[in-house]
């Protein structure tokens, strides 16, 4: 989702979608976009924002972060005819024009279990068996509910729902992200999962603290997420992951950061939040992608928990071991002395060649048939870490997805596959890793044999 662009030249990956989101957000702000709560959050045009009152399950404990492995969930994909009028958003551009079509995703989802009504054919594109290539839209409830069903089937605890504040300023995009929120909420109720908000501050130089606080007020007043029984709490407080403060490539100041943290933690009406900071891994040393000003040390220590964004910061066993020594081990000692929680990031691999328009394979961090991913969890278990963020559940844009991805790709196009592994491999691996992190199974440095079977 995000990291300093220059790091690409050093072999690190960043979440390129930040660039796309920034452009969308800046355009919306420049056009005088208004708060979603005022223009697209009313009961008459968005009835799905009302509190959920349908069937519910309570399989996963929603009162604690302890022993949880939670996936980031984007849900930002659209297709023509889905009701959002956004075309093939986040899949690519000009996909209806074969001579100008350009994909911005590096993986092709396995859509064999989706309702055909939730799929859209990509004009002129065929699969190897001659059938039309089809994609799903997260604006439609069906795909999101299916994803939540997979979470239950494979033993995943739930999600942090990614919400780019810049998008909430655009009525069209606000309508989309609010509907995805409602579908995630319903899916977590139906499948007994938990969910929490991940508020992404990738907003460019026009971002203000008021935009952030206004959106949280909207979520509290209109959506009433704090009262939702499947919304994740910790130490009796609703959990919020505030992502993007203190990075070198983001213009937030220490004063703005303190204002936001104080609001979420201490505001008389909207505070009382258990606030996790999604920040650079070098937050202790103020090096790397962290801003160097000493005031940031005080800011970082104001959070209730630290979540270093590790995705792309290592690419093989040697660099992963350096990350363990230079970041994770020192972090654990620091957060213990400060009385803070800790939630590092695990990611399965990376690729963004289609999005960047680069030579196929150039940007790849190899998955090594799951060994790269599993080794991160084994290290976390060895270090006694009991809460992990997975980046991401559905981000095929950067090749970090763990949901069902196809090994069969459209004819004539380049996409990264699961290297011949079953499409549900990473779902099974994440479920098994969750049990290991919780202590239900012993530490293992090798992937359990059961994970490699084709079905849950």
**pLDDT band at residue 452 under the 50/70/90 scheme:** confident
Query: Closest by alpha carbon to 254, among 202, 206, 209, 203?
Result: 209
Arithmetic mean of pLDDT, 399-419? 97
**pLDDT band at residue 47 under the 50/70/90 scheme:** confident
Render pLDDT for 100-116 as a digit per residue (tens, 0 to 9): 889 999 999 999 999 99
Number of independent structural domains in the chain: 1
What's the pLDDT at 448? Answer: 95
**pLDDT band at residue 206 under the 50/70/90 scheme:** confident
Taking the C-alpha atoms of residue 178 and residue 139, their distance in angstroms, rounded to an integer, is 9
- Determine how many CB atoms are found less than 10 A away from the CB of residue 357: 9
Taking the C-alpha atoms of residue 391 and residue 388, their distance in angstroms, rounded to an integer, is 10
**Can you give the C-alpha Rg of the chain in angstroms?**
20
**pLDDT band at residue 45 under the 50/70/90 scheme:** low
Sign of the CA dihedral running 372, 374, 375, 379: positive
Residue 349 contacts by C-beta under 8 Å, 6 or more apart in sequence? Answer: 364, 365, 366, 367, 368, 372, 373, 399, 400, 416
Render pLDDT for 308-325 as a digit per residue (tens, 0 to 9): 999 999 999 999 999 999
Please report, rounded to a whole number, the percentage of residues in the chain having pLDDT higher than 90.
85
| 43 pLDDT higher than 70 | no
**pLDDT band at residue 337 under the 50/70/90 scheme:** very high
| 396 pLDDT higher than 60 | yes
| 122 pLDDT higher than 80 | yes
| 26 pLDDT higher than 60 | no
Range of the domain at 41: 5-452
**SS3 letters for the chain?**
CCCCHHHHHHCCCCCCHHHHHHHHHHHHHHCCCCCHHHHCCCCCCCHHHCCCCCCCCCCCCCCCCCCEEEEEECCCCCCCCCCCCCCCCCCEECCCCCCCCEECCCECECCCCCCHHHEEEEEEEECCCCCEEEEECCCCHHHHHHHHHHHHHHCCCEEEEEEEHHHHCCHHHHHHHHHHHHHHHHHHHHHCCEEEEEEECCCHHHCCHHHHHHHHHHHHHHHCHHHCCCECEECCEEEEEEECCCECCCCCCHHHHHHHHHHHHHCCCCCCCEEEEEECCCCCCCCCCECCCCHHHHHHCCCCEEEECCCCCCCCHHHHHHHHHHHHHHHHHHHHHHCCEECCEECCCECCHHHHCCCCCCCCECCHHHHHHHHHHHHHHHCCCCEEEECCCCCCCCCCCCCCECCCCCCCCCCECCCCCCCCHHHHHHHHHHHHHHCCCCCCCCCCHHHHCCCC
440: Cα separation from own chain's centroid? 26
Q: For residue 286, give Cα distances in angstroms to 4, 168, 241, 248.
A: 14, 31, 21, 10
What's the pLDDT at 98? Answer: 67
What's the pLDDT at 327? Answer: 96
Taking the C-alpha atoms of residue 13 and residue 312, their distance in angstroms, rounded to an integer, is 4
What's the pLDDT at 46? Answer: 75
* pLDDT, mean over the chain: 90
What's the pLDDT at 29? Answer: 38
**pLDDT band at residue 23 under the 50/70/90 scheme:** very low
Q: Give the domain CATH number at 144.
A: 3.20.20.80
């Amino acid at each position: 989702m995000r990291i300093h662009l220059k790091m690409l030249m050093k072999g690190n990956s960043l979440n390129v979608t930040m660039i796309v989101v920034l452009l969308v957000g800046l355009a919306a702000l420049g056009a005088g976009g208004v708060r979603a709560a005022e223009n697209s959050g009313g009961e008459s045009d968005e009835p799905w924002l009302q509190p959920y009152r349908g069937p519910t399950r309570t399989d996963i404990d929603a009162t604690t972060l302890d022993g949880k492995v939670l996936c980031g969930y984007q849900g930002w994909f659209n297709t023509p005819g889905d009701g959002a009028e956004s075309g093939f958003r986040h899949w690519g551009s000009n996909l209806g024009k074969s001579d100008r079509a350009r994909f911005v995703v590096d993986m092709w989802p396995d859509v064999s279990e989706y309702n055909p009504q939730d799929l859209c054919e990509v004009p002129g594109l065929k699969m190897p068996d001659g059938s039309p290539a089809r994609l799903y839209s997260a604006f439609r409830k069906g795909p999101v509910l299916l994803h939540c069903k997979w979470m239950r089937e494979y033993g995943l605890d739930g999600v942090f729902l990614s919400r780019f504040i810049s998008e909430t300023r655009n009525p069209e995009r606000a309508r989309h992200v609010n509907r995805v929120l409602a579908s995630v909420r319903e899916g977590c109720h139906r499948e007994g999962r938990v969910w929490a908000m991940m508020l992404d501050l990738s907003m460019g130089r026009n971002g203000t603290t008021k935009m952030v606080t206004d959106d949280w007020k909207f979520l509290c007043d209109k959506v009433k997420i704090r009262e939702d029984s499947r919304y994740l709490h910790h130490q009796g407080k609703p959990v919020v992951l505030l992502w993007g403060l203190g990075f070198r490539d983001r213009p937030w100041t220490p004063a703005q950061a303190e204002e936001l943290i104080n609001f979420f933690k201490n505001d008389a009406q909207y505070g009382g939040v258990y606030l996790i900071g999604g920040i650079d891994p070098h937050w202790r040393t103020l090096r790397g992608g962290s801003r160097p000003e000493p005031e940031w040390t005080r800011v970082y220590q104001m959070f209730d928990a630290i979540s270093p964004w590790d995705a792309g910061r290592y690419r093989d066993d040697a660099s992963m071991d350096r990350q363990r020594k230079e970041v994770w081990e020192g972090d654990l000692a620091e957060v213990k002395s400060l009385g803070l929680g800790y939630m590092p990031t695990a990611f399965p691999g990376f690729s963004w060649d289609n999005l960047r328009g680069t030579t196929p394979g150039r940007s790849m961090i190899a998955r090594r048939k799951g060994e790269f991913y599993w080794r991160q969890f084994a290290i976390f278990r060895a270090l006694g870490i009991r809460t992990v963020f997975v980046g991401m559940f559905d981000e095929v844009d950067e090749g970090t997805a763990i949901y069902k991805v196809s090994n069969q790709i459209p004819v004539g196009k380049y996409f990264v596959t699961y290297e011949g592994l079953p499409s549900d491999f990473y779902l099974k691996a994440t479920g098994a890793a969750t049990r290991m992190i919780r202590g239900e199974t012993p530490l293992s440095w090798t992937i359990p044999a059961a994970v490699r079977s084709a079905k849950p």
